[in-house]
Structure 1
Amino acid sequence: MSRQDSIDRVVVVVPARNEEELLPRCLSALDEAIAEVGDVAGQAPPVIDVVVVLDRCSDGTAAIAAAWPKIESISTNSGAVGAARRTGVRHLLPTSDHFTSATWIASTDADSAVPPNWLSAQLAFARNSVDLVLGTVIPDEGLADGVRERWDAQHRLVEGHGHVHGANLGVRADRYLQAGEFARVDGHEDVRLVSDLRSLRVSEIRTELIPVLTSGRLTGRAPAGFAGYLRDQAAEALP
């Protein structure tokens, strides 16, 4: 394994806005994913840091995050998910010197639950010279049956899929910095980042091996976010 491909630090960023109901599910799932990295890596696992970015929270989200002592939380008033993700990354990697090829950035959402192999799989890809990992998402039981049928018909969750989700994305830190970081926007910051990474011709993999369970609600925190997409799907599913 070359120095270029090895990872000795992982930073996980979780933006949250009023997610007191779903944040416990998110953090419990991350605990499992972190534990699996230790089991797989053996005696020399990478250092893993998680930060929950509390963006304009007015409910009990902050108190819930504080109940996980191994997970850090910070507060912002940006009101934009892209800015929240960017702030979280910069909190854990404060200067350009911290953005090395040996650091991996993993992004998910507070309303989502990653699978146990979420981090271990990304690290396996990184060890094989991959710079960008794009995973899939699956709406949870909150999605109405009619909308789910339309979702299932339009989303083939296979290797080489064409989807981009901030709730299931991993990238080598030096490449992330070269691409200009997450844009300070309230939607599609993930798509913008991936477009900029592709312009750098990074090595990427689009996999269905690490599906993330996400909220099936139709009213979300970001106007241009996943809930808005599901809402459009629901409207199209009407007779």
Structure 2
Amino acid sequence: MTRPLETAHREPARIDAVLVVVPARNEESRLPRCLAALGEAVAVVREEFGADAPAISVLVVLDRCTDGSADVVAEWPWALTMESDAGSVGTARRLGVDRLLAGAAPAHTWVATTDADSAVPRRWLAVQLALAEAGTELMLGTVLPDADLPAGERARWHDEHSLVDGHPHVHGANLGVRADRYLAAGGFSDVDSDEDVLLVGELRRLGVHECRTALIPVITSGRLDGRAPGGFGGYLADQVAANR
């Protein structure tokens, strides 16, 4: 049995803008799933919040892409793109947030991040928005590996991971933060992996109010050769090797 969501006991914060940043490197085969899911999540916010729905921007950061990723994103006219030569997921996330934050009011802006090889659930943004407006400053969600991870290994993964409210996990594929707190923490670092863990560490040092929820799990690639060294793919590969 999971325990209830952590609830904020702070002054509610009106959110006028939601910024979604998606780093991508050579993900033309997985981007359609990612963008379709994000499009649905945006539509749900507009349905549920109506005239009170915030402006929502989705930006795909094409980080050293040499495939057709840019052409794929072009098929989704509501999705913005920018190119990066950094070759670093941390830098790609940071550049994307910087781009979208230009001209925004940080105290009334929510930043959500996911990955190009992932698919968010329908209410991914709606739940984050409700939490943010209740005073949550940092949302940490869970992830589930898809069928790229063999069935036996996937079953073992579920047995070894407790995906409940209050979970201990940090995933850049399922993270949200209020923009003013993001900026106060220094933003994402220019690193090849663990940029999410480093950011959360700084946010916790600031004493932000966080919610660790299992309500909105993100489906992510179960491949063992991920794009980021030390990322989720590398973690899965290590787990598989350890169980052989």
TM-score (norm 1): 0.96
Decide whether the 8 Å contact of 2:11 with 2:134 is kept in 1: no
Do 1:150 and 1:233's aligned partners in 2 also have CA atoms closer than 8 Å?
no
Q: Percent identity?
A: 58
Q: Name the counterpart of 2:217.
A: 211
Superposed displacement of residue 4, structure 1 = 5.5
Question: What residue in structure 2 maps to residue 179 of structure 1?
Answer: 185
- In 1, Cα distance between the equivalents of 2:93 and 2:133? 25
Within 2, Cα distance between the matches of 1:21 and 1:152?
26
Are positions 1:191 and 2:200 aligned together? no
Q: CA deviation at 1:149?
A: 2.6
What is the letter of the counterpart of residue 114 of structure 2? T
The match for 1:161 is 167
Please name the residue that 1:79 is paired with.
87
| Shift of residue 150, structure 1, vs aligned partner | 2.4
> Residue 40 of structure 1 aligns with which residue?
48
Q: Within 2, Cα distance between the matches of 1:77 and 1:147?
A: 35
3-state SS of the aligned residue for 2:118?
coil
Deviations 1:123-181 (A, max 9, x none): 11011110000000000011112321321122111000000000000000000000000
Aligned to 2:29: 21
Out of 218, 229, 232, which is 1:223 matched to? 229
Letter in 1 for 2:241: A
C-alpha contact (below 8 Å) 2:11/2:135 kept by paired residues: no
1:67 corresponds in structure 2 to: 75
Q: Choose from 125, 133, 137 the match for 2:143.
A: 137
Find the counterpart in structure 1 of residue 115 from structure 2.
109
TM norm structure 2: 0.94
Shift of residue 44 of structure 1? 2.2
Contact 2:141-2:216 within 8 A present in 1 as well:
yes
Total equivalences in the alignment: 235
1:98 CA displacement? 3.1
Which residue pairs with 2:152 in the alignment? Answer: 146
Deviation sequence 1:15-57 (CA, Å, 0-9, x none):
0000000000000000000000001101121000010000000
State whether residues 12 and 134 of structure 2, in contact with CA within 8 Å, keep that contact through their aligned partners in structure 1.
no
The alignment yields a C-alpha RMSD, in angstroms, of 1.2
Give the aligned residue type for 1:14: V
Distance 2:185 2:200 in 1: 8
Name the residue aligned to 1:124. Answer: 130
C-alpha separation in 2, matches of 1:119 and 1:196? 23
Q: 1:73 to 1:3 in 2, by over 3 A?
A: farther
Distance verdict in 2 for CA 1:99–1:180, change over 3 Å: farther
Matches of 2:11 and 2:179 in 1, distance apart? Answer: 14
